[in-house]
Each structure stands twice: as structure tokens, then as C-alpha cells.
Structure 1
Amino acid sequence: MRISFLLHNGYHYGGTIRTTFTLAEELATRHEVEIVTVFRHRDRPALGLPAGVTLRHLVDLRTDSPGYDGDHPDFHRPAEVFPRGDGRWRQYSALTDTRIGEYLRGVEADVLVATRPGLVVHLARQARRGPVLVGQEHLTLAGHGYRLRRDIGHEYRLLDAVTTVTEVDARAYRRLGLTGVRIESVPNSVPAPTLPPADPAARTVVAAGRLTRVKRYDVLIDAFAEVAADHPDWKLRIYGSGDAIQDVGGELARRIEERGLGGRAFLMGSVTPMEPEWVKGSIAVVTSQRESFGMTIVEAMRSGLAVVSTDCPHGPREIIEDGVDGRLVPVDDVAAVTEALRGLVEDDELRAKTARAALASSERFDPVRIAARHEALWTELVGKGASRRTHARGRAWLHHRVGVGVDAVYALKARAGRLVRGTRGRFRTRFR
């Protein structure tokens, strides 16, 4: 198969980029794979180029590049095809509308995969008939605002498939009633470790992720302080950076001092890759109020750590089997985190047993296995032929000919469905 991924910015770093690169690299061992990034702001990808994968960009933001697009007049005009409900809308423009449209019209692929809701909506609105269209949800449906959820409910009907990273989120998408659209949950993948597993005898607790309030590292610090009072040889390392406006890092540093943890709890900053840091510990802790999946949980398990995680929406319960390969505890409950952490700290045999189980169970997230699940779905859809899309380009034609914005077309569709249905045939005839 020829597979093309559409990504926001493949030259940056983040969970969606990392998991897309991992999937693309595995698929490239058997298929022709490219990643098309809307934006390019640096010379080389922060995460490196996946082996066997072609990477190309649509809009160049490098000011020292001969192809710099920041001075293009359309770069400063607002986007009308990319949906306003997507939080990245202000980064998009009339230029990105045009460039993405040109890419979608000219790409030769069997499968087109868009990796964030705004790009999925854009894909549905402008893609030509023929390739299988797939929307990947790397966050959660419930986490999007009303305007974007409305766009999803309308435009995703033109897709062939939607994949989510958890079954809970797949059920939410199925409740939208996207008739004829395959909705499957396929978790993110994490490559096999390149280092030996962590030593269960290590006296270090590790946590990793952005320093934001939703991660509730304050709960972790308070829980660790209770355990460290009886086990002063244990240390806590928290990896990640945060938002300077919120200054969560500063708040956490003050909390560490207030709890008397100086020299035992450390804010380590961002580190890439994390694998060498995971294996320095024996226990990983996740105290988030919510997760779209839980990549750090899988990463820690693959490195052979026992994991304590809050039982937050959506991912942890689909990753951890409580009491077997980790512990699940209530959200925002310092006492529960303390108890679970203490149980692993004080029982060397339990900690080692849990770590072994985590290492074994996490193999189901290996890229080979995850890629095979995507592959099976896409192969089936390609075998069924062209998708059911009939009027996406009709909306684009209406905008071009009479100046009606896409959102205005939505209003027509919602308030005068009979009229829009009556004009669909003309759109279809014009664009066959």
C-alpha cells in the first residue's frame, strides 16, 4: 500500500508526532510511506527522521530558508477550510488551505491518514475521491470544544474510518452515529527498549510529563513525602517542562522545600529520550486528573518499572491490570497514592513481581503488533474500493464560486437541509 500521513508539524516534538513516526517507520518495512507536515520551522525533525519514510512539508516557516512562506500574502489571511473550532486555527491561513488542498488533490496514495481533528475535517472537506480516508484521534472527543465536536459530527461522515487510542473514546465516537464509518480503537505503540530493564532494587521513583496542573504532581510530592519520612534512602525524580505563565515548576519546587524533600526530590527538566531515565528507577507514578491515553505508563512498563497510576479517563484502566502489572488509585487522592506507593516501596518481592508482569504485558504495545492492527483495517477498506464521499468538493466549489464560507455552508445544511440535499446532485455532477 501507499500510505500518506498528514501531520501538523513533524519538526516539533510531542506525543502525536512520536507515535506517528513510530507507526510510519514500522509500516515502511512493508509499504511505501510518507509523512506530510503542514509546517516546517527547523532544518531537521526534533525526533529524527523515521527510517524508510519520506518527510515533506507544505509551508516553510524557516526565516533563513529560500522557500520561506511567512511573507506570502495568503499567510496572513485567515483559514476558511481548516475549522475554527480546532485550537490551532490561528496558526492556519488561506495559504495552508491552498497548500493542503493541492496536496490532497495531487497525492497518489491508497490510504490518507490525518492525525488531528482540524486536519481530519480539512481532509474530509477537500480530499478527492479514491483514497481511503482515515481520521486518527490522539486526544479525546470529550476534550474538544462544542464547535469542533459539531464539525466532527458533520464532516467525519465522509471518512472511511476513525481510530481512537482507547476503547472508551471509540464508544464516544460510535454514539455520534457516523453511519458507515468504521470506528476502531488502536492504542499508541512504544518501541522495544534498547537498554536492559530497570533494576527492581533501585530506590528511585520516576514521573514524566508536562508540568501542568492537570498532572497533579503536587499530589505525588505529598504522597512521596509521607513514604520518604520512613524511607529516607528513596528519591523522586520528575521529568518535564511547563508553561512559564502558570509557573507550575516554581510551585512544585516550593512544595518540595516545604515538605522537607530537598536533596531527595528533584525537578529534572525535559529529557529526550526518556528511556535511559526510566531505567534509573524501579517505580513510576502517574497522578493525572485525565489522560487521553497514557504513553508514559506504557513507556515505564516497557522499561520494566512497576507503575502506580490514577484511574483517570481514558487510558490507564486499558493499560494497567490493577494488582497485577501495576496499581490504579482514585484521582486527587493523596492517601491512596501514598498507600499504593508504600506497598511497592516496602515489599521488594512485590515490586519485582509487578515489574516483571508490566514488562510482559506491555509487549502488546509493540509497534509490530500495533501496525498490524492498522494494516488489517486499511487493507480491508482498500479492498472495498473508493469511499462513500459525494459532496465534500461541492462545498469547496460553493465557497469558491459565491464566497460562502464553510461554516456558513454548515448553517445552510443545519437550517435548510432540504435545500442542500437538493443541490448535492449538481455538485456531484460537476466534480465527477
Structure 2
Amino acid sequence: MRIAWLVFNLDGMGGTSRSAITQANALAPDHDVRLVSVTRSGDRPHYDVDDRVAVQYLVDVREDRDPTVPPVAGLTPAVATALADRESALVPARWDGQFSALTDVAMEAALPALDVDVLVTVTPALLASAVQLLPDHVTVVHQEHRSSSDRTSGLEPLLTYAPRADVVALLTPTVETWLRERLGEVAPETVVVPNPLPIGFVPRSRLDRKVIVAAGRLVPEKQFPKLVAAFGQVADRLPGWRLRICGEGPQRAEILRQVRKDGLWDRVELPGAVPDMRGEWAKASISALTSRAEGFPLVVQEAMAAGVPVASFDCASGPREIIEHEVSGLLVGPESVAGMAAALLRLAGDEELRHRLGEGAHRAARQYDAHALAERWLGIFADARARRAGRGRLESRALAKPPRRPRAAAAAVDVAEVTPLEARRTALRLAVDAARAASDAWFVVPRDGSNPPTVVVPMAARRALLDHLAAASVPSYLSLRDPAQHGWHERRGSVAELAADLRRGMTTQVSLEPWPTDPRTGRPGLLAGGCGVDVQFWETGVDGDLVAPRRNRWVQTLPAGTRLVDHEVDGVTVRTLPLMAEPTFDECRFPIDVVYTWVDGDDPAWNDARAARLAQVTGTATTREASGRARFVHRDELRHSMRSVHLFAPWVRHVYLVTAGQRPDWLADHPQVTVVDHREILPAEALPTFSSHAIETALHRIPGLSEQWIYLNDDVFLGRPVRPEQLFTPAGQNAVFLSATTVGPDDAPGAPAYLHAAWNNRRLLREAFGVTTTSTLAHTPHPHRVSVLTEISERFAEDVARTARAPFRSEADVSLLSSLAQHYGLATGTAYVGSAEHAFVNVSNSDVEWQLQRLLDREQDFFCLGDHHDHAVTAARLDRLLADFYAEYYPVAAPWER
């Protein structure tokens, strides 16, 4: 078979080029093999190439000579230099900045003439070039060496051109799953094949020298300063042991500074680049890897082949698929210096453990034999060519069998009668039960702002906790999430399946939470946000302390034996630190009530009273904006707005419904809801009233109302879980949500009543404080304080009393609860400008269906369904649209509904 590998540069150090060379060397005795290097930067490849392997360079970029392109006749050095300075058209700089117009010319000349059966590409940029320039009969196999889903050459070229490859080979099952999920139906044939060990690699360490060896480019990704810091924590406990870091790179000076800081001049060695690591591994007793991300690290394979146990940070792919914890090495939490220090201390201080893991490492490394893997590659190449059956690349792909589908994201889930609070409680109980079964040292970090509660167990109990979760009876609406890290995508799956899969790693956090989308609609469901719990695994330091993997507001290190206390979180009794059970300065601990105003516009008696009162007035009060039927039509908004409070603000103490002696037929007696008649809070001479401005002047007089309370029009809804701190400060100040609508100049002719009220508010505030208002308020919940409203009612008594006694909206009104109080609070320091995601939908518009569908994405904290007198759709259709919308957005009834 005629096989070629296309690499960018053969002459430098690097695992990708080394893997290609090793594969070519293994196949050279029996096949026509060549290495095609886009650039030449040295006199010979850095790694040894078998004499039977042909080496072809496309562009000579050695520093001591002009750039040349051998296949292109007549390309002068001057032209080549100019092309080298221009961006590549085949490989844009956003994909890979190493390519240029000069490499384009070279590949355009060489690849169409390449006479091979199979071409293997080793980067996404090279894959993109190959499928565009190669003869159609050449089978293309791409080997993906990326260590994350966000590497230098990026997602775009891989996801764009992978479907045009005959085969894409991945180093680990994790990466294969990610690619198949991203590409879906256009995914190509994929295989998982690890990188081979270099041919002839046969050292074996006796593990009798006090040497810890690490190797690699001295670049930030490898995090060698953290390795030095970890060694520094245990160096005094390991007399005679040395740390040896082999390699060159730009971070050498930083590593030396860390060495100086920790006083390790005589204990840490940086010998530079080592031509052959065989001797280094033969002298090592421990290998260490502290990379942020890895693909399939050759240094780990080489160390294991030498029988050297490896202590490694866990990564999303790579180390966890090479090292079996406690069998061939030790995995510690990603970037955990404390965990690495403890692992080094264990391996250095326990000779029996070191030899046992070293033997396990040596056995495991046999699977990376270059000749055995070469046989696998031959089978992959032959199968790919056979699938072609003489067809062109695109025809062959078009006729290929559909790819294996990744596992389903979520089965049908049952969320009937499950509220967000109940989902949070269930997730917390499951996590606590698993923690209790796994370790005696568990505790809970309470909710911190928008961060969910976190159940903590020692890293040593990680596997036991995951085993318990995998075996637990878990509601179908809950999933397990492996968070994204270091450019790698997050994973989500069923609790049993993903918990079992995660056992082999040492990631420091998982999240137990509802599936984010409803499988029936594909949209976010009721439990989409704020309903989960995190589980963290804390490494045990060398002194037995638990060390947090990331910052929290209370502790970073927890000494062994720290006293714990019982504490209630979301109604679940848990264990926590005494400090964590105390109130904090940024929590709202005071009671908060909600007040609604509502009338039944279909009540004949009420409508007769409205008509009689309307006949007695003139002017603005008679306009549609002030007294028209649209102001009083109800479309079942109140029921679902109150549902939104039940579902998304369970911390609300009490709900008051202020009405004109009416009661919704669906509202049952319930201890959390009180119906208040206008006669209880308004003077007799103000009744009956049909003005919301008038009713709003008296709401703060409701008997028993909490100092901090929230005014909700019945057409305003909570869109997702809301915290009290989004509406009040812990000191009790209320939020003001300003809109982009301006009040405008005073006294514009023909202005609606609400603008007259805004101008009257402006006048009062200008006279009192010398400031002016410019904005109206957004259609959101309006948080208020009883004491501030009482103060305003006394300070502007005449204006408030006049508003209270106007039966319909009038030009003399003030809007106490929807503008005046908020601006008064801003002027006196009792309020602040808040921020929230909110939306307004005018249900009279022609695009109402589209707007309602957008709301179902659940991206807003609050929204308002505003009505109008004239509608673009029929009343029947609008009622159906709203009924369907309510059923999907708020599927769970509140306990006060009949």
C-alpha cells in the first residue's frame, strides 16, 4: 500500500510529528511510505526516520537561505518572500497562523500530483488543505491530536472538513463522542487509536533512585511552576529526592523564579532539551504531569513503558485514559497543587506502592507497541479503501451508512407537579445521601448568590460517591453534568450512565440538575435553571487538610476534624461549618409579601357600576386609554402570574389580592393568600373606583403587609427562578427597573393619562429635590417599602388624596407605585437602579405568536403580556395562543388553585 503522512513541520520537537514518524517507520518494511512536510526548518528531522521512508519537503524556510518551493518552477526568492508575508487562503489565520500564501502555492503544486493510496493528515488545517487539493481517488484519513475542543486550529476547520474525510481517528473515546455529537448525521467513520511508542523503546527503571522526572515544552499549558510548588510542599519530608524537568521553552525563567521562591536551588534541575529520554526514564522513580490539557501525552506512555508510575493532574482527555488510578499511577484533581504534593509524597515515601504501580504501568504500556498499532492502521486503511469501491470522495460519503447516533440526550421525563424548589430539594437530598454513604467527612457549602449549594466530599471518596449515585433511584428529570474545563466541552447524561463513566477520572466537580430542555419541545423546560446542586471533590493535602479546588466565600482549606453543625438548606437538613450557617451581609433575611390588583371585567354588576360612574365624568377619564374595556379584560393572566410566584419565588411569605369585592372562581382558600376588598383600604368617598392609580395609593395600608413588598400587575410574570436579592438589598433598599421609554417634555397635547401622571410626578420631585425624571419604568415587578410609601403619602398628601378619589385615570393623577415612589427612593437613598432581563409582549400585535414562542426560551427574569383595545388576531385565536403558552410555561398548578 502507498501511504503518506502530511505534517506541517518534521524538523521540530512535538508529539504530533513524532507520532507520524513512528507510524511511518513501523510500516516502512512492507509498504511504500513517505512523510510530506509542508515546511523545512532544519537540515534533518528532529526524530529518527527509517531510511526506507521517503521524506518530501514543500517549502524551505531555513533561516540561512531564501524561501524556496521546489515543485514550482520560476518562483523567485523575492516572490516567495512576498508570498510568505501574505495570509493563507487555504488556511485562514484564525484557524492556524503558521500557514501563508507561500504554503498555499507549495501545497497547490504538490498535493494534486501526490501518487498515494492513503494520505494521513494530523491537524485540522492540513485536513482542510488535503480534501481541497488531493486527487479524488486518494483515501483521506485524519488523525486528530487535539487536547481540547478549543485548540489553536479551532473548531471551524475540523467541523467543516471532517465530514469529507474517509476516516477520522481520535486518540480517546471522549474526543470521539464529542466529535460525533457535534457533527450528527454528517459525521464520518470514526475510530479510536492511541499514539504508538517509538520503536525500540525498551528502558526499564529499577525505581531505586530518588528522582522525579517531568518532560515537555516549558510553556504555560504544562504548568511546571505548579509542579515545582507541589514538590516544594513536600521537599523537606523527602530528603535526597530531586525534581528534574526536561525541556526548553519560554517559561523557563518563570520556573526558575518558582524554584528560587521555594528555596529549591539544590533540589530542582532544568537540563534543557534531552535528545533521547530513554536514559532519563531509566533513572526515574516517579514521573509527574501537571498539564492543563493533554491529547495523548507521549511522556506518560514512555514513563509507563519504563515501569515508572505517573502522578498526573486529571484532564478532560488523555491522562485519565492512559493512567488507571491506584493501578498504574495516581490521578489528582485538575490543577490541584495540594493533590500533586500529596501524590508525590505517597509515591516517594512508599516503596511498595511505587513498585506495585510501576509494574502496573509497564503492563499497561504494552498496548502502545508501534508494530501492533501499525497492524491496526493497515486494517483501517484497507477498510476505508474498500468502502470507496472506486467511487469519488464525496460520492462515497454520500452513500455511506448513517453514522452511529450518540446516546440520546434525554429520555421522556416526567415533571408533572414538580416545582423548581422540589427539584432542588430532590437533587440536594440525593447528593447528600451519596456523600453520607461515601464518606464521614462530607459537608455542604450553602447557596452563594446565584451559585447552587455544593456538597463536598474528599477526593478519596469520589468513586464511592459516584457509585452510589449510579445505583440510586433518580427521577427521570434529573441529569448529571460534567462541567466544561480548559476549552473542553461539558458533558451531560443520565445520572447512572455518566456517573459510571466518570469513575475513571479525578475531575473536581459534577452537577446534579434537571435536563435543560424538554425532549417533547426541544425548548428549555420549567426546571431549566437554578434547580441543581454541585458536588465537589476536595483533595487532601500533605497535612490531612481538605483543599478546595476553586474559591468559595468561606474557606479554601479545611483542617481535619473541623466541627460541623446541622443547617437547613432549601428545606433539607445538612451538615456545614458553623461559619457557613451564619447569615451574611448580602442576604435578604426579612419577610417579603406580594400584592396583586385585579378586577373581573366580565362581572355584569361591576360593569354596570363602571358605566354609571363613567356617565358622571368628562375629559381624559372618558378616553379608551383611561377607562376603556381593554383595561379590565382578563385572559387568565392572574392565575398564571400567581403560579409564576409559586414556582419561581417560593421565598415569598404571603400573597394579597386586592379586588372590588370579587374573587376568581379558581381561587381556593389558602393560608398563603388573602383577598382584600377596596373598602378595606380606600376611603368610602373614593368608591367605587375604576382607576389603578387610585387603588395603588392605598396598597401599602393593607393590614399585616410586610415592610418590603412587591407590587405585581396581573399581566406581569416571573420568567425563571428569582432571588430576593434581585429586588432588594440586604439593607432593605428596593430595586428600580427603568425602561428605555422617555417621559418627554411636559404637557404634550393629546398625551395619555399615564404620561400626565409622569409629568405630575416630575413636578413634585423637581420641587422637592431639584431633580427631574427622564424615564418611565419597565413593565416588571415593582418592589416597595411601606415606610417610604407612607412618607410620600404624607409629604404629597394633596396630590395622593386627589388621585385616590379620581374614579378613572385623570390628568391630575400621580402614579405612586409605578414611578413616583421609585424616583423618590432614588432621590432619598431608599432605592437603587436594578438590572434584570425582562420583555414586553403586546398581545394585540400581529406577531403575538412569534413573540410568545420567543418567551418560551425562558431567557427573561420578568415579562409582561400587555393588552390593547384593537387586536390583529381574533379573540378566539388569541385565547388559544395564550392558553397553549400558559400550559407550556407554567404547567404546575399553585396550591391555592381549585
Mapping of residues 317-332 of structure 1, within 5 Å? 317-332=320-335
Does residue 356 in structure 1 map to residue 375 in structure 2? no
Within 5 Å, which residues of 2 pair with 1:239-388? 239-243=246-250, 248-384=251-387, 385-386=389-390, 388=392
Which amino acid is the alignment partner of residue 265 of structure 2? G
Distance 1:290 1:180 in 2: 25
- Rounded to whole Å, the distance in 2 between the matches of 1:253 and 1:193 is 34
Match of 2:393 in 1: 389
What is the alpha-carbon distance in structure 2 between the residues aligned to residue 149 and residue 221 of structure 1? 33
Alignment of 1:14-29 (within 5 A): 14-29=14-29
Call closer, same or farther: CA 1:371–1:178 in 2, change over 3 Å.
farther
TM-score calculated relative to the size of structure 2: 0.41
1: CA distance, partners of 2:157 / 2:230: 42
**Change in 2 beyond 3 A, CA 1:277/1:63:** closer
Match of 1:87 among 93, 96, 101: 96
Q: Can you give the 5+ residue segments of structure 1 that lack an aligned partner in the other structure?
A: 392-432
Distance in 2 (alpha carbons) for counterparts of 1:138 and 1:390? 24
Q: Which of 79-88 and 303-312 deviates more? A: 79-88
**SS of 2:383 mapped into structure 1:** helix
Does structure 2 conserve the Cα–Cα contact (< 8 Å) formed by 1:193 and 1:303?
Answer: no
- Distance in 2, matches of 1:198 and 1:327, equals 18
**Could you say which residue in structure 1 is the equivalent of 2:163?**
157
The answer as to whether partners of 2:305 and 2:365 remain within 8 angstroms in 1 is: yes
Q: Which residue of 2 aligns with 1:397?
A: none
Gaps of 5+ in 2: 70-76, 396-898
- In the aligned structure 2, how far is the partner of 1:341 from the partner of 1:72? 56
CA contact (8 A) 2:180 2:187 kept: no
Deviation at 1:178, TM superposition (A): 5.7
Cα offset for 1:48?
3.0
Contact 1:160 1:387 in 2 (8 A): no
Contact kept, 8 Å, 1:125 with 1:155, in 2: the verdict is no
CA offsets 1:168-204 (integer angstroms, 9 cap, x no match): 1111111122636111121111135555411211111
For 1:214 and 1:364, the matched residues in 2 are separated by 27
3-state SS of paired residue (2:120):
strand
Check the 8 A contact 1:37/1:56 in 2, yes or no.
Answer: yes
User: What residue number does 1:166 align with?
Assistant: 172
Question: Residues 265 and 66 from structure 1, CA distance in 2 versus in 1: closer, same or farther, beyond 3 angstroms?
Answer: closer
Deviation at 1:318, TM superposition (A): 0.7
Query: 2-side partners of 1:66 and 1:291: how far apart?
Result: 36
Q: CA deviation at 1:339?
A: 1.7
2:221 corresponds to which of 214, 220, 233: 214
Q: Distance in 1 between matches of 2:50 and 2:200?
A: 17
Q: Tell me by how many angstroms 1:387 deviates.
A: 5.5
Contact 1:84 1:148 in 2 (8 A): no
Q: TM-score, normalised by structure 1?
A: 0.83
Is the Cα contact below 8 Å between 1:190 and 1:365 reproduced in 2?
yes
After TM superposition, give the deviation of residue 65 of structure 1 in Å: 5.8
**Conserved? CA contact 1:2–1:110, under 8 Å:** yes
**How far apart are 1:142 and its partner, in Å?**
0.6
Partner of 1:399: none
Provide the C-alpha distance between the structure 2 equivalents of 1:49 and 1:14, rounded to a whole number of angstroms.
14
Query: Counterparts of 1:62 and 1:252 in 2: how far apart (Å)?
Result: 30
Displacement of 1:41: 2.3
Q: 1:55 maps to which residue? A: 55
Alpha-carbon separation, structure 2, partners of 1:71 and 1:48: 33
Assess if the C-alpha contact under 8 Å between 1:62 and 1:68 holds in 2.
no
Which of the pair is proportionally richer in helix? Answer: 1
Q: CA deviation at 1:53?
A: 0.4
Counterpart CA distance in 1 for 2:269 and 2:64 is 39
* Counterparts of 2:142 and 2:51, CA distance in 1: 24
Aligned ranges 1:39-50 → 2 under 5 Å: 39-50=39-50
> Which residue, out of 127, 134, 140, partners 2:141?
134
Q: Residue 126 of structure 2 is aligned with which of 116, 119, 125?
A: 119
1:98 pairs with one of 81, 92, 105:
105
> Larger relative CO (CA 8 A, sep 6+): 1 or 2?
1
Write out aligned runs for 1:418-429 (5 A).
none
CA separation of 1:16/1:264 partners in 2, compared to 1, >3 Å: closer, same or farther?
same
Contact persistence 1:132–1:387 (CA under 8 A): no
- SS of structure 1 residue aligned to 2:213: strand
Give the whole-Å Cα distance in 2 for the aligned partners of 1:204 and 1:302.
Answer: 17
Q: What's the Cα RMSD here?
A: 2.1
Residues 225-253 of structure 1 show CA distances to partners (whole Å, capped at 9, x for unaligned) of 2322122111111111122xxxx322221
CA distance in 2, matches of 1:129, 1:308: 46
- Tell me: CA distance 1:345–1:64, structure 2 relative to 1, closer, same or farther (3 Å): closer
CA distance in 2, matches of 1:192, 1:133: 25
Give how far 1:268 is off: 1.9
Task: Tell me how far apart the structure 1 counterparts of residues 200 and 344 of structure 2 sit (CA, whole Å).
Answer: 24
Distance 1:29 1:368 in 2: 11
Mapped contact 2:287–2:311 kept (Cα < 8 A): yes
Task: Give the letter aligned to residue 52 of structure 2.
Answer: G
Q: Distance in 1 between the 2:114 and 2:185 partners?
A: 26
Alpha-carbon distance in 1 for matches of 2:109, 2:296: 33
Give the distance between the partners of 2:241 and 2:12, measured in 1 at CA.
35
* Equivalent position SS for 2:149: helix
Q: Is the 8 A contact 1:60 1:67 kept in 2?
A: yes
Conserved 8 A contact 2:116-2:138: yes
Deviations 1:209-228 (A, max 9, x none): 12222222222222212322
Structure 1 residue 262: deviation in Å?
Answer: 2.0
CA deviation after TM superposition for structure 1 residue 63, in Å? 5.8
Letter in 1 for 2:204: P
Query: For residues 280 and 144 of structure 1, what CA distance do their matches in structure 2 show?
Result: 34
On the 8 A contact 1:158/1:388 being kept in 2, the answer is no
Query: For the structure 1 residues 348 and 109, does the alpha-carbon distance in structure 2 shift closer, same or farther, using more than 3 Å as the test?
Result: same
Q: How does 1:157-236 map to 2 (within 5 A)?
A: 157-175=163-181, 176-177=183-184, 179=186, 181-191=188-198, 194=201, 196-236=203-243
- Looking at structure 2, the residues matched to 219 and 174 of structure 1 have their Cα atoms a distance apart, in angstroms, of 34
- Measured after TM superposition, the shift of residue 58 of structure 1 is 1.1
The AA in structure 2 aligned to 1:44 is: R
The aligned counterpart of 2:87 is 78
| Contact 1:308-1:340 within 8 A present in 2 as well | yes
State how far apart, in whole Å, the 1-side matches of 2:63 and 2:259 are.
42
SS of alignment partner, residue 229 of structure 1: helix
Which one-letter code corresponds to 1:49 in the other structure? V
| Other structure's SS at 1:72 match | helix
Cα distance in 2 between the residues matched to 1:262 and 1:75: 44
- Identical positions, percent: 32
Distance change >3 Å, CA 307–CA 60, structure 1 → 2: same
CA distance in structure 1 between the partners assigned to 2:202 and 2:21 by the alignment:
20
CA distance in 2, matches of 1:158, 1:387: 13
